[in-house]
Amino acid sequence: MKKILFPLIIIALSILGCNHNQININLTDAIRINQLGYYPESVKKFIVADSIASYFEVIDSEGKSIFKGNLIDNGIWISSGEGASMGDFTKVEKEGAYYILVDGKYRSYPFIINSKLYDKALTAAIKSYYYQRASMPIEEKHGGEYARESGHPDNNCNYHPSSGYENGTLNSQGGWYDAGDYGKYIGNASLSTGQMLLLLEQFPDIIPDGSLNIPESGNDIGDLYDELKYELNWILTMQDDDGGVYHKLTAKTFSGFIMPKDYDLDRWIIGKGTAATLNFAAVLAQASRLYKDFDPQWSSVALAASQKAWNWAIQNNNIEFKNPEDVSTGEYGDDYFADDFYWAAAELYTSTKHEKYLNFLKENKEPVKHELTNSWKFFVRNNAFHSLLENIDQLDNNFSNELRQSQISLADEILTELESNPYGIALNKFEWGSNSDILNQAMILCNTHRITNEEKYLDGAEQINDYIYGKNATGYCFLTGFGSKKVMFPHHRPSGADGIIDPVPGFIVGGPNNDRQDKLQVNYFNTMPAKSYMDIEESYASNEVCINWNAPAVYVMGYLQQKR
């Protein structure tokens, strides 16, 4: 393929206040760099797309060129259709503000090298869950300009016949909205909460009390525990008396782009099935051990609910959820339950040490693998592996060795893929929520680093993470409110309806999606897989936000913050 010199829009002309002011220096988004920056010890790589440039410099805040390197031709990336040249300035370790200058003429977005690199982004990514809270207002003292009135009281939700009841209502207040829509879905809620609980299991003090400025700040309990509890308490409301768990709480259709207070659709308790029940069992067992020390009563309620759910699922082990005919909100359909059983058994065993769960795990082995896409469906098995690895002392030698070895092989596969990819990621398939696939791979590498302490896994996780914040084929930083090439129009109802120019901060958007299920409404400028992304509100297939896309971002940033 013919290489073109910087075909992308040249964004601005000259740079003020630098030594290069005699020369015309152009800012270009063809330099794909982590726009947040790098830790001093990180591998620091970036990509220049479609360029015949040969060298680069790192320019400091005084305009001085402090490092010079060659660009390496990584060939054409089949997923983006562009040439990719790579620059590496890992050797630059001094904290400061910088930009990259390519061939003396083209500059990148600014970035920093700093030991507190992700502190703000991590806080914002967690705070996004607070902004997603249903059934309560966001007060100005916590939400600033994003203050809003309460919506979705959800204290009087109708039972849909698919729930097993013909009439009556359920009080199912609270919890987070799933995404850009106002639905609440048990499977996705459990997966996301579970991923963040893992971070707390590994680093209990990571988000101290007061650090998020949420209503519970000041109660002497770390703020992430409080934020997750808001969701866990909603999850608890979704259990039927017999132990089974309803699949979701939504209206029958999606609402328009309105604020929560303006919502006027009836809310329904919909479906009851094996996957929801097992995901409920898993996350509540996990939470029961993590809240035990400071909330023993709640912890035993959670554990009892979890065991009751497990028992129901053993009796009802193949009840698939499908949207009833009159319901068109998110399906989160799941007809494969082995991974859900495994995650529930893993958490129940870890929390109770009851032999029966251990036997279940031994008799129902799950492959240690990472199925791409639909993380809400398949990634739950990795939640199980990560929790078991974290509590490996509870396993016998055979079990623990096998688990460790499989985890390491999986991580090595990811690293091998990463090494052959021009952008240094391990993904070559871009579907709905591809950004979470990327982040989930980084999460696997972090957990492998945790058990091996081998630097290569941490380096790999970081390079994959760089993709999310700008080292990708679109040049966007995919976290709202952050970076230089910002996402401005996520498919997120409050962001679209609140009249504020900037979207609510701290959300990871879905990212490039080669299936483009919204193509009737959205005119994609570029349809290469890794470029099938549009920052417009209509693009629900590439630009929605979702709790299970933020959760691995929270985990990975948290892990890196603790290890760098």
C-alpha torsion sign, points 310, 311, 317, 319: negative
Q: Which is nearer to ligand G3I, 307 or 542 (CB)?
A: 542
Closest approach of Cβ 134 to ligand 9MR, in Å? 15
Does residue 490 bind ligand 9MR (CB under 6 A)?
A: no
Gyration radius of the chain's alpha carbons: 24
- CB 331, CB 322: distance < 8 Å: yes
Closest approach of Cβ 543 to ligand G3I, in Å? 10
Does residue 226 bind ligand G3I (CB under 6 A)?
A: no
How far is Cα of residue 381 from the mean position of the Cα atoms in its chain?
16
Q: How far apart are the first and last CA of the chain?
A: 40
From candidates 37, 83, 151, 180, binder to ligand 9MR by CB under 6 A:
180
**Type and span of the H or E element at 555:** helix 547-563
Residues 415-444 touching ligand G3I, rule: CB under 6 A, are 431-433
Q: Which is nearer to ligand G3I, 424 or 433 (CB)?
A: 433
Closest approach of Cβ 329 to ligand 9MR, in Å? 8
Interaction mask 332-351, ligand G3I, x per CB under 6 A: x-------------------
Can you tell me the distance from the alpha carbon of 373 to that of 508, in angstroms, rounded to the nearest whole number? 16
Closest approach of Cβ 372 to ligand 9MR, in Å? 19
From candidates 57, 181, 334, 339, binder to ligand 9MR by CB under 6 A:
181
Does residue 231 bind ligand G3I (CB under 6 A)?
A: no
Can you tell me the distance from the alpha carbon of 372 to that of 457, in angstroms, rounded to the nearest whole number? 19
Can you tell me the distance from the alpha carbon of 438 to that of 431, in angstroms, rounded to the nearest whole number? 11
Can you tell me the distance from the alpha carbon of 536 to that of 124, in angstroms, rounded to the nearest whole number? 22
Does residue 216 bind ligand G3I (CB under 6 A)?
A: no
From candidates 111, 349, 540, 555, binder to ligand 9MR by CB under 6 A:
540
Does residue 546 bind ligand G3I (CB under 6 A)?
A: yes
User: Is residue 119 flagged as an active site residue?
Assistant: no
Q: Which is nearer to ligand G3I, 23 or 78 (CB)?
A: 78
Closest approach of Cβ 98 to ligand 9MR, in Å? 38
Catalytic: which of 82, 226, 240, 535?
A: 535
From candidates 237, 373, 387, 532, binder to ligand G3I by CB under 6 A:
373
Q: Which two tokens stand for residue 47?
A: 């990509």
Can you tell me the distance from the alpha carbon of 446 to that of 436, in angstroms, rounded to the nearest whole number? 15
Can you tell me the distance from the alpha carbon of 521 to that of 477, in angstroms, rounded to the nearest whole number? 24
Q: Which option in ligand G3I, ligand 9MR, none does residue 385 bind, with CB closer than 5 to 8 A by kind?
A: none
Catalytic: which of 347, 491, 518, 537?
A: 491
How far is Cα of residue 201 from the mean position of the Cα atoms in its chain?
18
Select the residue whose beta carbon is closest to ligand G3I and give its number. 330
31-32 and 184-185: which strand pairing? unpaired
Choices 78-86, 178-186, 240-248, 371-379 (CB under 6 A): range interacting with ligand 9MR: 178-186
Q: Which is nearer to ligand 9MR, 156 or 523 (CB)?
A: 523
How far is Cα of residue 498 from the mean position of the Cα atoms in its chain?
24
Can you tell me the distance from the alpha carbon of 41 to that of 54, in angstroms, rounded to the nearest whole number? 25
Residues 305-364 touching ligand 9MR, rule: CB under 6 A, are 330
Does residue 431 bind ligand 9MR (CB under 6 A)?
A: no
User: Is residue 354 flagged as an active site residue?
Assistant: no
Residues 508-527 touching ligand G3I, rule: CB under 6 A, are 515, 517
Q: Which is nearer to ligand 9MR, 261 or 519 (CB)?
A: 519
- CB 329, CB 254: distance < 8 Å: yes
3-state secondary structure 180-220: CCCCEEHHHHHHHHHHHHHHHHHCCCCCCCCCCCCCCCCCC
User: Is residue 544 flagged as an active site residue?
Assistant: yes
Closest CA to 10 of 102, 113, 74: 102
Q: Which is nearer to ligand G3I, 225 or 540 (CB)?
A: 540
Closest approach of Cβ 179 to ligand 9MR, in Å? 6
Q: Which option in ligand G3I, ligand 9MR, none does residue 339 bind, with CB closer than 5 to 8 A by kind?
A: none
Rounded to 5°, angle at Cα 397 from 392 and 402: 80
- CB 248, CB 179: distance < 8 Å: no
Q: Which is nearer to ligand G3I, 252 or 292 (CB)?
A: 252
- CB 181, CB 329: distance < 8 Å: yes
Can you tell me the distance from the alpha carbon of 41 to that of 538, in angstroms, rounded to the nearest whole number? 40
* C-alpha distances out from residue 248 to 196, 261, 288, 316, 321, Å: 21, 21, 22, 18, 10
68 CB-contact burial (10 Å; exposed 0-12 / middle 13-18 / buried 19+): exposed
Catalytic: which of 50, 57, 181, 366?
A: 181
Does residue 165 bind ligand 9MR (CB under 6 A)?
A: no
Q: How many residues does the chain have?
A: 564
User: Is residue 491 flagged as an active site residue?
Assistant: yes
Using CB under 6 A as the binding criterion, the count of chain residues that bind ligand 9MR stands at 7
Choices 47-55, 174-182, 337-345, 508-516 (CB under 6 A): range interacting with ligand 9MR: 174-182
Q: Which option in ligand 9MR, ligand G3I, none does residue 254 bind, with CB closer than 5 to 8 A by kind?
A: ligand 9MR
From candidates 60, 209, 295, 331, binder to ligand G3I by CB under 6 A:
331
Q: Which is nearer to ligand 9MR, 448 or 543 (CB)?
A: 543
Q: Which option in ligand G3I, ligand 9MR, none does residue 431 bind, with CB closer than 5 to 8 A by kind?
A: ligand G3I
Bridge partners for 106 per DSSP = 26, 102
3-state secondary structure 390-433: HCHHHCCHHHHHHHHHHHHHHHHHHHHHHHHCCCCCCCCCCCCC
Q: Which option in ligand G3I, ligand 9MR, none does residue 433 bind, with CB closer than 5 to 8 A by kind?
A: ligand G3I
Can you tell me the distance from the alpha carbon of 479 to that of 550, in angstroms, rounded to the nearest whole number? 9
Q: Point out which residues bind ligand 9MR (CB under 6 A).
A: 179-181, 254, 330, 540, 544
Q: Point out which residues bind ligand G3I (CB under 6 A).
A: 178-179, 181, 183, 330-332, 373-374, 431-433, 515, 517, 544, 546
Residues with catalytic roles: 181, 491, 535, 544
